[in-house]
Structure 1
Amino acid sequence: MQDPVVEYINRHPNAGWKADMNSRFSNYTVGQFKHLLGVLPTPKNVIEDVPVRAYPKGLKLPKQFDARKAWPQCSSVQDILDQGHCGSCWAFGAAEALSDRFCIHYNVNVTLSENDLVACCGFQCGDGCEGGYPLAAWQYFISSGVVTAECDPYFDDAGCQHPGCEPLYPTPQCQKQCKDLNQNWVDSKRYSATAYRIASKPYDIMTEVFTNGPVEVSFSVFEDFAHYKSGVYKYIKGDYMGGHAVKLIGWGTSDDGVDYWLVANSWNRSWGEDGLFKIARGTNECGIEEDVVAGMPSTKNLVVDSAVAAEQRASW
């Protein structure tokens, strides 16, 4: 993570964004940064038979959209989390988006456990802190469910800041026991009813977010992205670092007329624009529009109004 990249970006006449030496990575080596980028290439057998959602043109979408403002009652939509030193972005993007959708569709505020995915999904999802497949996380939600974060808190909650902490954590062991022994692991499980990909046209992605809530997206990260501070990101300089998964929560157009996606990262609020970033929309910048995944929450293990549940299922 070198200063010359920051200087180059900030002097570039057409960058469209500002760079800074983010405190989040001030002590990181390039190897440690790469370790955070935990999206592995999805195996063909994971993608096979997965439905792809596309939407017929006709819905009038707003020029600006921010899920935090659309659903202010949903606490998880407002959150910016920290994956620490584990390559668990694939799990964060999935657990965060499904948490949001439980509130959006069933008015249930819940924070789901990334730790359950990282520790317990196993080879189905990839390799825990060494990376995983976002789509497989959503399939795990259907087959195995995911407990609440209250039951199974994230193991690296300190972000590895305390003295003597190892810079890279190994994948935690799957315990299948709530930290609070008054809670039951099986009863704490929440499920997804579906898992699907979204067609890669901006209209399809926007309609999905506008209609159903935030989605998980993956994209290629280059060295300059580590230094993002503000503005609409597009790749300018640096080597390829790896694949990263994040939660897409909206879109808009900058004062300079550049269309962008609004995205929540999992590198805490000290990075970027209070933990968020904007990235160019409509040009598949760094591949961000070609690997969009989501699912609809299930009422299994959930106490909700039966009429509300029936109405939601009918709308799918």
Structure 2
Amino acid sequence: MSSTLLLFFLAFSSSFLQINGAEAEHLTSLKLKSPILQESIAKQINENPEAGWEAAINPRFSNFTVAQFKRLLGFKKTSRKELTSTPVITHPKSLKLPKHFDARTAWSQCSTIGRILDQGHCGSCWAFGAVESLQDRFCIHFDVNITLSVNDLLACCGFLCGDGCDGGEPLYAWRYLSNHGVVTEECNPYFDQIGCAHPGCEPAYQTPKCVKKCVGGNLLWKRSKHYSVSAYRVKSDPYDIMAEVYKNGPVEVGFTVYEDFAHYKSGVYKHITGFALGGHAVKLIGWGTSDDGDDYWLLANQWNRSWGDDGYFKIKRGTNECGIEDDITAGLPSTKNLIREVTDMDTDIDVSF
């Protein structure tokens, strides 16, 4: 009799767990299908005097579900083994840094620093952060204003970088820029220029195919390539990060995105409410302190100018908010191919290799 009861109890327990597991899965599914923008989240932040930032229903994501928003978050962390074998840059503390710094004004001749792009419906943030930082550095170090191709890195880095529109690793992106270079935007423009053409934007865009040929008939793929000297990380210390940006230009950073971040409008962001949804990579261009005394990082996003503060955002500095100070990746621009450009323009110039 007792064995019969035991069997009955085990069968009931198994059924109960299966039902509750299915219910939990169903709730997760419902969550993913719900709108990413919630009036309740915006209200909670805007009514919180300690928040330090303003929330809004940003037009960029007015029709996005949580699942669609998650797909934009393509930053993947690099394995610890790979990180330990990568050079980590530090800077001497003797360098006096300003209290406020904005790369857009520090290098006002570099138009690319102030550009706000749009990654469309692809989780290509990891590629945008790398390419945008490198093109800025070409202007800063060599006085060359160029726009480089995110599409080249996204489509051609392959399994080395990750999964294309399903995410990638910034460190491997910078290694690709060093080993293989990246062509100009004119040669290989970004594939998702018009956004989603079908109702509901499902499924998400597939990663574009790697076609090593410029769209313009008079441009050559190999001659359009621009390179990074190397790939390195910057020490996860606010001073070292500031010094790196101050001396060499914008860097790529990765951080954790929560639901409330989609609602950011202005001010100094810090996580207040909502679940963690994934990792995102952006370009860090400066720092400062708000009127309320909050130290912040200044960053350029790639969700177009209808999101955030005209496409930019500030996030709390010095406390590793959302892991913003953990993953700083960069590289210096290379003169490779630039020498060829110079000799093409003026064959009288004597260039020694």
- TM-score range (shorter-chain normalised) is over 0.9
Structure 1 residues not aligned, in runs of 5+: 307-316
Amino acid at match of 2:183: V
**1 or 2 for the larger relative contact order (CA 8 Å, sep ≥6)?**
1
User: Which residue is 2:9 aligned to?
Assistant: none
Report deviation, 1:166.
4.1
Amino acid at match of 1:38: G
Q: 253, 257, 263: which is aligned to 2:293?
A: 257
1:94 matches 2:133: no
Q: Is the alpha carbon distance of 1:13 and 1:70 closer, same or farther for their aligned partners in structure 2, counting shifts above 3 Å?
A: same
Report the Cα distance in structure 1 between the residues aligned to 2:263 and 2:308, rounded to whole angstroms.
8
Report deviation, 1:46.
3.5
Residues 289-312 of structure 1: per-residue CA shift (max 9 Å, x gap): 010000000000113779xxxxxx
> Higher helix fraction: Structure 1 or Structure 2?
2
1:53 matches 2:89: yes
The total of aligned residue pairs comes to 305
Amino acid at match of 2:127: A
Taking every aligned residue pair, what percent have the same amino acid on both sides? 64
Q: Does structure 2 retain, via aligned residues, the 8 Å contact 1:82–1:159?
A: no
User: Which residue is 2:155 aligned to?
Assistant: 119
Report the Cα distance in structure 1 between the residues aligned to 2:265 and 2:201, rounded to whole angstroms.
27
Q: 239, 243, 246: which is aligned to 2:279?
A: 243
Matching of residues 137-176 of structure 1 within 5 Å: 137-160=173-196, 162=197, 166-167=201-202, 168-176=204-212
Residues 74-132 of structure 1: per-residue CA shift (max 9 Å, x gap): 11101000000000000000000000000000000111111011100001100000000
User: Which residue is 1:73 aligned to?
Assistant: 109
Question: Cα RMSD between the aligned structures?
Answer: 1.4
1:132 matches 2:168: yes
Report the Cα distance in structure 2 between the residues aligned to 1:134 and 1:74, rounded to whole angstroms.
23
Please report the TM-score for the alignment, with normalisation by the length of structure 2.
0.84
User: Which residue is 1:85 aligned to?
Assistant: 121
Report the Cα distance in structure 1 between the residues aligned to 2:256 and 2:295, rounded to whole angstroms.
19
Amino acid at match of 1:180: G
Matching of residues 1-316 of structure 1 within 5 Å: 1=36, 2-160=38-196, 162=197, 166-167=201-202, 168-303=204-339
Report the Cα distance in structure 1 between the residues aligned to 2:237 and 2:109, rounded to whole angstroms.
29
Report the Cα distance in structure 1 between the residues aligned to 2:284 and 2:94, rounded to whole angstroms.
22
Amino acid at match of 1:245: A
Q: Is the alpha carbon distance of 1:174 and 1:197 closer, same or farther for their aligned partners in structure 2, counting shifts above 3 Å?
A: same
Report the Cα distance in structure 2 between the residues aligned to 1:165 and 1:22, rounded to whole angstroms.
18
Report the Cα distance in structure 2 between the residues aligned to 1:287 and 1:165, rounded to whole angstroms.
32
Report the Cα distance in structure 1 between the residues aligned to 2:119 and 2:256, rounded to whole angstroms.
18
The higher radius of gyration belongs to: 2
Q: Does structure 2 retain, via aligned residues, the 8 Å contact 1:129–1:169?
A: yes
